[in-house]
Structure 1
Amino acid sequence: MSDQKRLPPLLKLVLELGPLVLFFLANAYADRFGYADNQRIYAATAVFVVATVVALTVNYALIRKLPIMPMVSGVVVLVFGGLTLFLQNDVFIKLKPTIVNTMFGLVLLGGLYFRKPLLQIVLDSMFELDEEGWRKLTLRWALFFFALAALNEIVWRTQTTDFWVSFKVFGIMPLTILFALAQTPLLLRHEVKKDAAGSEA
């Protein structure tokens, strides 16, 4: 596992956040290219779909594999973005975060039930934890994914499209970063040291 190719952290961040930032910018400025206000979300969705495909292609070209989360999210973007454009109904793209986060939450809970540490695969994790650490961290992330799904439902059903787009960029990502940082004490408590890993089998 340790000899697997990995993207530099900055490039990984750009590939994961780039399509989302372009989605926000396209929605904000599409009117300058002749789109009516109620059509900006469709221009943004088209940009989002293309940018997602490009990001996944670059990722695969560089390391010859696709991380689970970006790959699953990318497939849902293609399907629901395509439905949004084909049917001219923005509900589909708004449902995408709900579906993706619910899927990840269910997968992680299923892994807990079958005693499989799927979180390490889902998050493309670079750290090693003991069994209790993986169990606790997996449960926390599963609940967090469900919370994000519920929050997305509340926002898109009660706020404007522009607010929801901004929330995707400036709400979900900061919340995810803050949640991940909040898990640092747990990671430090349950980390398996490299030199001790062999003796704790």
Structure 2
Amino acid sequence: MTGKTDNAVLKQVLELGPVLAFLAGYVYLREQTVSIGGRDYDGFIVITGLFIPLLIASNAALWKLTGKVSRIQILTLVMVVVFGGLTVWLNDERFFKMKSTIVFSIFAALLGIGLARGQSWLEFVLDGAIPMSHAGWMALTRRLTAFLVAMAVANELIWRSFSTDVYVAWDTFGQMGAMFAFFISQSGLMNRHWQDDDDKTA
């Protein structure tokens, strides 16, 4: 029992640690400029560069610990590597800030394609973790698609209209809080369409 508890705590550390480290590093470096190879980088660029290998390492450790990494985590890692790499290479923080807009838009587009085909790809992504009827999954997918579009728009408005400090707070806590609030708000829908094993075999 203790081993399972330790693994659960370590899993949480591996999932949340890189985000908290990014926030702490940004707070420490945000007003500093670092010269590397004769080129000046502000704190946001530096911490972005450090965040990439940290996230890769945490995902590798998570895979070794649990034997799997979720599809959402894999996509997030790819986007961080691509757009974080562009941010550092071009010394332009806009690429990293656009990352969330693109991630939300991709998920919204994919879920929309599934809906057009009469399918809930959300159920596939979550591996059927929530025992709901097909109608329930379709309804939840429609709502999540609209929510992701709103999140993409919100990310664009925030990084374009506010300071980097505001963006970092939004990126590290705001998005996570909004997603949590969304799924909590869907509890009524999930309860209405809940199916236990007896319902499925009846």
Shorter-chain TM range is: 0.7 to 0.9
Select the structure with the greater relative contact order (CA < 8 A; seq sep ≥ 6): 1
What residue is the counterpart of 1:163 in the other structure?
166
What residue is the counterpart of 1:147 in the other structure?
150
Taking only the aligned residue pairs, the percentage that are identical comes to: 32
What residue is the counterpart of 2:76 in the other structure?
73
**CA deviations over 1:54-86 (Å, ceiling 9, x no partner):** 221122212333211110011010000011111
What residue is the counterpart of 1:27 in the other structure?
26
What residue is the counterpart of 2:113 in the other structure?
110
Deviation at 1:122, TM superposition (A): 2.6
**SS of structure 1 residue aligned to 2:42:** helix
**Corresponding position: 1:41 with 2:44:** yes
TM-score, normalised to structure 2, is 0.86
CA pair 176-185 structure 1, distance change in 2 beyond 3 A: same
What residue is the counterpart of 2:87 in the other structure?
84
Shifted more, 134-143 versus 24-33: the winner is: 24-33
Give the partner amino acid of 1:28: V
Give the partner amino acid of 1:130: S
CA pair 44-107 structure 1, distance change in 2 beyond 3 A: same
Query: 2:198 aligned to 172, 192, 195, which one?
Result: 195
Whether the 8 Å contact between 2:108 and 2:149 is mirrored in structure 1 is: yes
Structure 1 unmatched runs, 5+: 1-7
**Aligned structure 1 segments of 4 or more residues deviating by more than 6 angstroms:** none
Aligned equivalents of 1:30, 1:193: Cα separation in 2 = 51
Q: Which structure would you say has the larger Rg?
A: 2
**CA deviations over 1:73-129 (Å, ceiling 9, x no partner):** 110100000111111110110010000010011111111111222112334552111
Aligned equivalents of 1:11, 1:77: Cα separation in 2 = 22
Q: Describe how 1:168-179 pairs up with structure 2 within 5 A.
A: 168-179=171-182
Whether the 8 Å contact between 2:26 and 2:47 is mirrored in structure 1 is: yes
Structure 2 unmatched runs, 5+: 1-6
Give the partner amino acid of 1:21: L
Deviation at 1:167, TM superposition (A): 1.3
Report the RMSD for the aligned CA atoms in angstroms: 2.3
Aligned equivalents of 1:155, 1:178: Cα separation in 2 = 19
Whether the 8 Å contact between 1:69 and 1:123 is mirrored in structure 2 is: no
Deviation at 1:13, TM superposition (A): 4.2
Deviation at 1:150, TM superposition (A): 0.6
Whether the 8 Å contact between 1:26 and 1:44 is mirrored in structure 2 is: yes
CA pair 169-111 structure 1, distance change in 2 beyond 3 A: same
Deviation at 1:194, TM superposition (A): 1.8
Query: 1:64 aligned to 60, 67, 74, which one?
Result: 67
What residue is the counterpart of 1:51 in the other structure?
54
Aligned equivalents of 1:20, 1:80: Cα separation in 2 = 16
Give the partner amino acid of 1:16: E
